[in-house]
Chain A
């Protein structure tokens, strides 16, 4: 089945540790996105990538990093510089120049 897969679904980390969230898609989409969602709020854009080896900062990129070495994969690293990393993280992908974005099921990160 074609789709977008995020892993893990739940992640617990100690404060001060870096953590990497996985996002893989087999839809042959060029564009990929990372969003953060806090309780009762909408989606805030962290980073996005239009093609392999290229990505742009979104509105809340501080404390996060990404890479896009393969078309299928767009991992997000939450670094220790991110002051309040506990949140729900959603990855999305879509065709270049097309409207609808497809979402993964999300990763809920809790930092203790």
Chain B
């Protein structure tokens, strides 16, 4: 069975803090790993990672993949209240199956 595990399940921080969200996976036929942000309804795409060790960066968000140890991290620096959301990790498999983890609920307090 393909599994994606995210940790922590929830996190409360203060504005300005840096957070690290974790995603580990046990799957067959790995193709890529994706991160999404879900604020209300539809998740919005953040990053897609296919190669180990290459950091993807967008503003205060960055992510990296380790295909040997089967995990990825999502970092958010200088957090803002607008970063409060559910962060979802998904693994894309050959054959087009797309499996999500349970998500990390992030709350940033002002």
Number of interface residues of B (CB under 8 A): 26
| Binary interface encoding of chain B residues 73-110 relative to chain A, with 1 for a CB under 8 A from any of its CBs, else 0 | 00000000000001010101001111111110100000
- Alpha-carbon gap, A90 to B40, bound state (A): 12
Number of interface residues of A (CB under 8 A): 28
Q: At the interface, yes or no: B41 with Cβ under 8 Å from chain A?
A: yes
- In the complex, are the beta carbons of B101 and A42 less than 8 A apart? yes
Query: Contacts A42-B6, A42-B88, A43-B88 given: A100-B34 contact, CB under 8 Å?
Result: yes
Q: Which residues of A contact B (CB under 8 A)?
A: 31, 33, 35, 40-45, 48, 50, 56, 58-59, 88, 90, 92, 94, 96-97, 99-106
Q: Which residues of B contact A (CB under 8 A)?
A: 1-2, 6, 31-32, 34, 41-43, 45, 48, 50, 86, 88, 90, 92, 95-103, 105
